[in-house]
Amino acid sequence: MSKKATQFYTPPLHNIKIMITHHDNGEIESKIPYVNDEQHGVETWWLDNGQKESETTWVNGKQHGVRTWWNENGQKAWERYYVHDVHLALIKWDYRRNVINVKVSTMELIEAKIKANTTIINTIGKPKKTIITGLNKLVPV
């Protein structure tokens, strides 16, 4: 996919920017929000026919929440769940909406990833703690 144009829209709050790219046919390809030059908010991508392709939620430059991809028929193909860039789970569906794959990190692996991630975050002065209350309720503290 080649991009026709890239532009930045700056709303009235000057620390917020939205990068917008376009397909060759003029349709919007992506909208990516930034706050203080870090991705923050919902990043959205579309196919050149205008159909949504993916959404990813970002918090302070890290994937946090659900990342969703749709297939060319507009059906949800898969979701990944994240807490501050730590991948927790993956769910995939087939064209008939049957779950065909579920991968969930073990609690030990999740805790190790969060601990490692927290250590990295602490070294740059942005401490974060996260309480995991379930895949649908990821709560930053």
Tens of each residue's pLDDT in the chain, 141 residues: 445 556 666 666 668 888 999 999 999 999 999 988 899 999 999 999 999 999 999 999 999 989 999 988 888 999 998 888 888 888 888 877 777 877 776 666 666 666 655 443 343 444 344 333 343 433 333
pTM of the model: 0.67
**CB within 8 A of 57, min separation 6: which ones?**
41, 42, 43, 63, 64, 65, 66, 67, 82
CATH (residue range 3-104): 3.90.930.1
User: Rounded distance, CA 141 to CA 131, Å?
Assistant: 7
Looking at the DSSP assignment, which residues form a beta bridge with residue 70? Answer: 76
Check residue 122 and give its pLDDT: 40
- Domain-by-domain residue ranges, the chain? 3-104
- Angstrom CA distances, 19 to 25, 36, 42, 82, stand at 18, 13, 12, 23
Check residue 27 and give its pLDDT: 92
- Angstrom CA distances, 126 to 59, 95, 117, stand at 12, 42, 11
User: Rounded distance, CA 33 to CA 66, Å?
Assistant: 16
